[in-house]
Chain A
Amino acid sequence: MAGAGGAPTTISAACEPTQLLPTRLVRLASSELRAQLRAALPGVAESLISAVDLQAEHVAPVAERVISAADFSAYYQAVLSLAQAYVDQSADAAACRTGVADSCLQGVLRPAWQRLYRRVPTSEEWAAASLRFQTLLATHPLATSAAGVVAGALLSPQVLYRSESGQGTDARGVTRLSRAELIDLASFAFTGRVPEPNVLAQLSAVDDAGLKTALGTQVATWVATDTFRERASDFLELRFGVQHLPELSRSDAAFTPALKTAFTGEFREFMGETLLAPGGSFGDLFSKSPTRQFPGLEAVYANDEPTRRQGVLGLASLLAARAAPNGSDPVKRGIMVRVDLLCETVPPPIAGADFSKVMVTDDMQTRERFATLAAVAPCNGCHQVINPPGYLFEEFDQLGRHRDSEKGRPIDAHGSLPPAFGKQPYAGVSEWDGLVPLASWLASAPQARRCFAAHFVSYLLSQAVPSTVDNCQLPGITARFEQSGRLDELASDLVTSDLFQYRTRGNP
């Protein structure tokens, strides 16, 4: 493999190598693998491709993509069928049905292997394949032998994994990814599949010095595609906790599977209208409102008060995802603001807290009940920080419906964002009424942008970056995004960064 520049030269001395990701193997996500198989084995029925269903999608970090014994068993049987079908049915494989062994090997199997491996097999790899092919031919017909060789490739880790091993390590154990690894990483991160042949040719043609720029340019193209928008929407579902909607249960007959589907549709459509729209920005996510009421949510938005909603925080889908089964939940919603949107750390609940003397009565509103419980020492230490932003959402119930009153009394949606544990207060924060001022503040808060950027970078790299929001590499990557809020700029600055291009070997 051609190097992208040999030994590392640019990694900043001020930033410890431990802030880089380690060298690693990245198993292709299930949909990525299917896309790869479609491209590499043309002419195979979609039903056979679909049968390849290894657990873990691209939203799962690398560590959660272990191929279990059960998944392997299913994969094993699926690839035997797939390989046989390719040789039996694909026009590309005709030479393995009717030709002679050598034309099958060189004209069909070798190109297929190259497509499956996303590179030219090494001489060691191809010699082994050729030898097994000859062995198979001694006992099996040509087509069956050829299918065996294709199946052998499909079971090989070269197909299932991408490597980020780099080459040439400096004294600090830092290595730069090879050109092929970089292109693979970028293409899978933004499109979920191997690069188109013309893109690959273009990126392969530039010299080392020009590769960074070429990758940045290519990423700008990828970010504008529907494929990327789909992947980014998946990330946004995770970021806002909406991905669990299909599993949730609510003690409310209106919470039907159809409503859950509509909620998901509303959320994704709004992402497409704001952050993921051409020219869209992070600020839009919190400041704009949906252009329409999503079909299926009419009952949820009946009797609504639109001026009390704004941005993603006002979506019924988000509010439903962040609620208790039978009511609003100021703690869940407060934690969403503090942990998920601002990357603060919140200590876990304290075991054995004694609530036996706490008077919680049936006529209390949700806020009153949470406030009463939260006042108990030692819980109050944390909940006086967690709950106040959660109270801002109190106008919205467990399905995200607006309400003026609860238990026959008006709702109190006043709240704030008090300083986090041991931290300075945020600029621009005051006592607020409802979620609208919080949304407006988040639209431009630098901390919210840094937090979002850290998680987005981790998502694209399929692994949490060391120190997450405090990673010393991040300021250089997120500087433009913090100003503009534009995802394309963040993406482009990521692929040209050391964090993207370098790895550490760490301790062997």
Chain B
Amino acid sequence: MSRHGRNSFGRRAFLGAGMSALGMAALQQRAVAQADGMAAPRFVFIYTPCGREPSWRTETPGAGFTLAPTLQMFEPFRERMAIIDGVTLVNFDYAKYNSHLGGISTLLGGKIPLKKAGDFQGGIPVSSQRTFDHLLADRIGATSPVSNIVLGGVDRNNDAGALQLSYTAADQPELPIHEPERAFAALFAGAQVNVPSPQDSALRQTWEKEILGLSQDQTNAFKHQLGSNELMQLEAYQANLNGAFQRVMDPNNFNPTSAGCSKNFATLALGITGEDYQRQHDLQSRVLAAALACGRTRVATFAMGSHLGSMTVPGSIPADPNRTGAFAGAHHLHDAGAIGHYQAFDRYYGERIRFLLQELDSYPEGAGTVLDNTILVWSTEIGWDPLEHDHERHPVFLFGNVPGKKLNMGRYHQLPFDMGANREERLANPQNRRLHEVLLTIAQAMGTTDLESFADPAYNHGPISQLLA
């Protein structure tokens, strides 16, 4: 309980007095972007489970980097791609948590997780904070109809929190929407084919303003009946109400949709083929790309699989039929069969992500495409050598860019990394850079510079200069 008290103070303050200030900051940021003639920034975090086969690393860092066999599908995007080698995660403590769960709960976090009762090593980690995707959405997504979204694939096994990457607050995970139809319904809810007349729009705005005002009145009345635990639980919902109210009050943003942004799910699904997993991943990607291009959302997290899931992919069946299928069955093995198994998954996920990049690249924007103004971060909860279940030299891939091309793409960034004596030392060494520092660097490149408190100061050395153009 006390942990909630400590961590919720800032959030409450933010939701109360700070919300309007933050909303103003978001509006100002948009105004600056528009004045510069730049598109609005967008952010997508992609999670795939269980690390990847070690050959993703190259011995030729810099602009002339070579792409490993499992990364060849990105050759057409190499100038809009960056590989980051030499970061680890939050120092979650191997002694306290399962390697997978410790990684998952901190991928989008900047601080040590909380421990909940559970079967894994006597405790299950959960994020101790509102995660980066939400914090960024508070700033760059506040004026879009859906400030951010968390998507999933067919694999929905969330046992022990296997899919809990995104948190609205401490210990409040936002689970992925796995069904593309539901994702579409959420992202395009309220999008209208016909733009209403100014008079109708003004009336509608007044109506919605009173509705949201009434629900806020009721929320305040309800809060008088609640204790501190319940007030904390209400915060995320209150943030939704506040966000909707803010959008309705914004004359430039009310009824932002136009005919061009109205989409039909059946039309989006045309031409999507393949096995169940592939079809669903690609359909999610197409829906997401359409939503990002339309301004329906600006921030997304896409959990493509679960490390406890049962997904199989083409080529993941090695000679021994008993060593096939889910990562759960093979990723603890340490032989050629396991390597082949990993490579099959790496190729599969790579192809799916390339599909998403192609979708984003199909939408023109300014002198380029939506991909040019969308930064995608692809990572996983396990580090360099997944067979060891460690978190050193974590595989991190960037695609796209932020508006103004402020990130140094088209390179393999080799960051210094102290290997120390063992994996515990590597994770604990404060000099080793962290994934959350990459995220903060991206935020800074977007012009968002007020997120420093998101990360533990002992493990935050400011922007990673190599990544900035």
A251 vs B320: C-alpha distance in the bound complex, in angstroms? 12
Cβ of B249 < 8 Å from any Cβ of A?
Answer: no
Q: Which residue of B lies closest to A370 (CB)?
A: B322
Stretch at the interface among A5-13, A76-84, A292-300, A409-417: A76-84
Stretch at the interface among A122-130, A281-289, A385-393: A122-130
**Are A152 and B229 interface neighbours, CB within 8 A?**
no
Q: Which residue of A lies closest to B167 (CB)?
A: A66
Partner of A324 from the list B229, B309, B322 (CB cut-off 8 Å) is B322
Would you give the shortest CB distance from B207 to chain A, in whole angstroms? 6
The 27 listed contacts between A and B (C-beta, < 8 Å) are: A25-B226, A25-B234, A63-B172, A66-B175, A68-B149, A69-B146, A69-B147, A70-B183, A74-B189, A122-B221, A125-B217, A125-B221, A129-B214, A135-B210, A149-B214, A152-B211, A152-B212, A152-B214, A152-B215, A153-B218, A155-B212, A244-B156, A251-B312, A251-B321, A326-B317, A353-B334, A508-B228
Provide the A227-267 mask, 1 if CB < 8 A to any CB of B, else 0: 00000000000000000100111110000000000000000
Cβ of B290 < 8 Å from any Cβ of A?
Answer: no
Stretch at the interface among A87-95, A200-208, A211-219, A339-347: A339-347
The answer to whether residues A327 and B322 also contact, given A68-B149, A157-B234 and a CB cut-off of 8 A, is: yes
**Are B321 and A139 interface neighbours, CB within 8 A?**
no
Which residues of B175-214 are within 8 A (CB) of A?
A: 175, 177, 182-183, 185-187, 189-190, 203, 206-208, 210-214
Residues of A within 8 A of B380 (CB): none
A72 vs B221: C-alpha distance in the bound complex, in angstroms? 21
Cβ of B222 < 8 Å from any Cβ of A?
Answer: yes
Cβ of A317 < 8 Å from any Cβ of B?
Answer: no
Cβ of A422 < 8 Å from any Cβ of B?
Answer: no
A203 vs B171: C-alpha distance in the bound complex, in angstroms? 35
Interface residues of B (CB under 8 A from A): 1-2, 5, 98-99, 117, 119-122, 137, 141, 145-150, 154-158, 168, 171-175, 177, 182-183, 185-187, 189-190, 203, 206-208, 210-215, 217-219, 221-222, 224-230, 233-234, 236-238, 240-241, 243-244, 276-277, 297, 309-312, 317, 319-322, 324-326, 329, 332-335, 387-390, 423
Which residues of A115-164 are within 8 A (CB) of B?
A: 122, 124-125, 128-129, 132, 135-136, 139-140, 144, 148-149, 151-153, 155-158, 160-161, 163-164
A80 vs B145: C-alpha distance in the bound complex, in angstroms? 15
Residues of A within 8 A of B141 (CB): 69
A148 vs B212: C-alpha distance in the bound complex, in angstroms? 9
Residues of B within 8 A of A466 (CB): 117
Residues of B within 8 A of A362 (CB): 319-320
Partner of A69 from the list B137, B173, B230, B387 (CB cut-off 8 Å) is B137
**Are B119 and A345 interface neighbours, CB within 8 A?**
yes
Residues of B within 8 A of A56 (CB): 175
Q: Which residue of A lies closest to B163 (CB)?
A: A64
**Are A70 and B221 interface neighbours, CB within 8 A?**
no
Interface residues of A (CB under 8 A from B): 22-25, 51, 53, 55-56, 60, 62-64, 66-74, 76-78, 80, 122, 124-125, 128-129, 132, 135-136, 139-140, 144, 148-149, 151-153, 155-158, 160-161, 163-165, 244, 247-251, 324-327, 329, 339, 345-349, 351-356, 360, 362, 366, 369, 373, 464, 466-468, 505-508
Residues of B within 8 A of A249 (CB): 276-277, 310-312, 325
Would you give the shortest CB distance from B184 to chain A, in whole angstroms? 10
A56 vs B390: C-alpha distance in the bound complex, in angstroms? 33
**Are A148 and B146 interface neighbours, CB within 8 A?**
no
**Are A24 and B119 interface neighbours, CB within 8 A?**
no
Residues of B within 8 A of A327 (CB): 321-322
Q: Which 6 A-B pairs have the closest CB atoms?
A: A325-B325, A152-B214, A351-B389, A506-B1, A156-B218, A128-B217
**Are A324 and B326 interface neighbours, CB within 8 A?**
yes
Residues of A within 8 A of B119 (CB): 339, 345-346
The answer to whether residues A70 and B186 also contact, given A76-B244, A125-B221, A351-B390 and a CB cut-off of 8 A, is: yes
**Are A247 and B325 interface neighbours, CB within 8 A?**
no
A71 vs B182: C-alpha distance in the bound complex, in angstroms? 9
Would you give the shortest CB distance from A214 to chain B, in whole angstroms? 25
Residues of B within 8 A of A158 (CB): 218, 222
**Are B99 and A351 interface neighbours, CB within 8 A?**
yes
Residues of B within 8 A of A366 (CB): 322
Partner of A144 from the list B145, B207, B320 (CB cut-off 8 Å) is B207
**Are B173 and A64 interface neighbours, CB within 8 A?**
yes
Q: Which residue of A lies closest to B172 (CB)?
A: A66
**Are A23 and B149 interface neighbours, CB within 8 A?**
no
The answer to whether residues A55 and B175 also contact, given A136-B210, A251-B321 and a CB cut-off of 8 A, is: yes
**Are A324 and B172 interface neighbours, CB within 8 A?**
no
The answer to whether residues A22 and B1 also contact, given A136-B207, A339-B119 and a CB cut-off of 8 A, is: yes
**Are A325 and B214 interface neighbours, CB within 8 A?**
no
The answer to whether residues A507 and B332 also contact, given A158-B218, A325-B310 and a CB cut-off of 8 A, is: no
**Are A155 and B310 interface neighbours, CB within 8 A?**
no
